[in-house]
Amino acid sequence: MKRLDGFGSPRIALVGDFILDRYVRGYVERISPEAPVPVLHVVDRESRLGGAGNVAAGVRAFGGAVLCVGVAGKDPQGDELARLLMVAGAETSGLVRLADRPTAVKTRYVGLAQHRHAQQMLRADEEDTAALPAPVQTTLRGALRAHVKGCKLLAVEDYDKGVLTDDSAPQLIADARRAGLPVVVDPATLVTDYRRYRGCTVMTPNRYEASRGSGVCIRDDASLAAAARRLLEAADAEAVVITLDKEGAYLMRRGQAGKRIPHVRPRTVYEVTGAGDEFLAVLAVAVAEGASLEDAAALANVAGGLEVERYGFVPVTRQDARDELLRILGLRGSKVTDRKRLADELANRRRLGQSIVFTNGCFDLLHMGHVRYLRQARELGSCLVVAVNSDDSVRRLKGPGRPVIAAGERAEMLAALECVDYVTVFDEDTPEPLLELLRPDILAKGGTTDVVVGRQIVQGYGGKVLTLELVEGLSTTRIIEKIVEGGRPNADR
């Protein structure tokens, strides 16, 4: 924990295959009369970073700076990819735009079963995977040399799309090592000759990749050790970390015995997209900040575990990792958050098909009536967000003698309740701006509270307003009214 809290913002050079990921989402309610295939009624389209772009986003989310070295087409897709990288905070001066090579695009068609659970139905790839011509490889090598000053580490993300080859990868690695940089590599799935990565510091293949690259079928610790030794020998690397899904990871340094790094709690694996990218990103930041390889691998293991619980690639932040470490220690990470981070968290929950319950209030003198009210509200959905009036807001609503308890303490007391998932403080007189931003599925309000504003906001997207009776000073709560506005629930948005 102390090591994580002490991290700065190291600059990472990132070489690899940058990909534009597109998602087309909709509902599947019938089978086509033309053929026995599902019909996707499209309601949403989204573009995200993919491939090495995931690593760039992961490094930035974890507090590092990143220089991207790779290629994209001189096409609208390349413009979109470059824009997303810049929005993520990545430096794109090393991204070479090519007129005769299209930007790599992966389009995933996603159906929402019963309007809730996202299920990938099909993926369509548009790409040119031929090795880059020698002049372009020379340009990339020059870009890395020109910009490597000030970087603390080189990360290599190989998707075998032509940027990294058996000839070019060792040259890029050698340039970085001569500049004094450690090099961490995430190998491509189908690469079997790990001499491509010779001279690197550490490699991070998964179980399948390690088996293919070593020729050893990994079944137990003995086969893990044999596979790791062969990979280290082939790549002339200092260490290898083999990721093992729910079993954690396996670390071996050259000339030393291997060591297992277990997952410390069971994971609900929703999707494995980007888990290796997240592992590489966090490992790179940790190693660049001087963490031991054991500590860096353990931290990357935690981040990779968080990633597989999310739909699509959603970068893990330092606060995410810190909260998870607190959970591992038997504590609960901070539930009190600002509205920007809260919006990101809730967006991820929606992608998982979860429903969001929102309530708000002063909660100045917390009593059992509040607690029971909040428990009841939590039972209405997958998670409960409690918005607390700031001190100034309470004074405007209740007079100069209030609040009795400061906002920070009120938020902390609410966060201590098991039924509360998130707490945020707002300074406005009404929660209307928060509702507009967060768009909860259910707005739970006390029976004595005016819910007209909430109804008007929720009505626009088909949410529900549930009025719960809260009698001051009494330990009782019951649902007295249920108002359903609009048509479909949140997942239809």
Judge whether 373 and 455 are in contact, CB under 8 Å.
no
Judge whether 18 and 52 are in contact, CB under 8 Å.
yes
CA–CA separation, 166 and 142 (whole Å): 18
Q: Which of 17, 158, 277, 320 is catalytic?
A: 277
* ∠ Cα 399 369 436 (to 5°): 65
Supply the DSSP symbol for 103: P
| Whether 277 is catalytic | yes
Indicate the SS3 state at residue 96: strand
Amino acid making up residue 36: P
Phi, psi angle pair for 374, to nearest 5°: -70, -40
Judge whether 115 and 491 are in contact, CB under 8 Å.
yes
**Which helix or strand (DSSP H or E) is residue 188 part of?**
none
**CB environment 368-398: b (16+ within 10 A), e (fewer):** ebbbbbbebbbebbebbbbbbbbbebbeeee
10 prior amide bond cis, ω within 30: no
Long-range contacts of 222-226 (CB under 8 A, 24+ apart): 224/250, 224/258, 225/252, 225/257, 225/258
How many CA within 13 A on the CB side of residue 168? Answer: 24
Phi, psi angle pair for 223, to nearest 5°: -70, -35
> Who's near 89: CB < 8 A, 6+ residues apart?
60, 65, 66
Burial category of 245 from C-beta neighbours within 10 Å (exposed 0-12, middle 13-18, buried 19 and up): middle
Strand 153-157 versus strand 117-126 pairing type? unpaired
Residue recorded with tokens 């396996």: 250
Q: Which residues are catalytic?
A: 277
